[in-house]
Amino acid sequence: MARPKLHDEKLRRRLLERAGIIVSTEGVEQLSMRTLAAACGTSTTAVYALFGGKSGLVTALFDDAFRRLGTRLAAVAPGVDAVDHVVQMGLAYRDSAVSEPHLFTLMFAGRTGLPAASEARTAAGTALGPLREAVDRAVDERFLRADTDATTASLTLWTTVHGWVSLQLRGFLPPGSDGRLEAALRAVLDGWRPQPS
């Protein structure tokens, strides 16, 4: 008879959730294996068995945060209007950050201790990659001008959404701004629209 698994996926998820909150609110330096284990009702042995130590835990947390963002962006189904698809991806990015602000902070505002190249690759691949594909589609289908540089457009849109979200999470946007991001994204995209003949 097989022995029951002591450290299962449910515990792993609980540890990641709690670690994300600690890292986002107090910083990586304050993430203690002992405190984390106690907060989750388990032992440090479980944390080490599941992650191999603090470095493995932070890496798993960082990777999981970007995986979750990628899942949100991938769930935005392409519609008939390729520009609308780009806008909906921007709104999904914002919704992901607002619903899980501790993960957004970990991904983009905190010091993870991971190599800069790893961080940049994860950010560009998860956040910028799908957006670039959506912009490419909008150019291919002539919703945007043929001379539109997809890299420039993608970066511009990403920084627009990212800046908006960063200000929103810190409470710096004026009252009533929640519904204005879509209009802002459409205004940016209008700069790459074909001119009426």
Give the pLDDT of residue 3. Answer: 40
Give the pLDDT of residue 116. Answer: 64
Give the pLDDT of residue 104. Answer: 87
Fold for the domain defined by 9-190: Tetracycline Repressor; domain 2 (1.10.357)
Rounded to whole angstroms, the Cα distance separating 185 from 12 reads 37
Phi, psi dihedral angles at 89 (to 5 degrees): -65, -40
Tokens encoding 30: 């304050």
Answer for the pair 23, 104: CB distance below 8 angstroms, yes or no. no
This prediction's pTM: 0.83
Give the pLDDT of residue 2. Answer: 45
Residues in the chain predicted with pLDDT less than 70, given as ranges, are 1-7, 110-124, 127, 197
Q: Where are the domains of the chain?
A: 9-190
Give the residue ranges of DSSP H helices in the chain: 9-26, 33-39, 44-51, 54-74, 82-99, 101-108, 116-123, 129-140, 150-169, 181-190
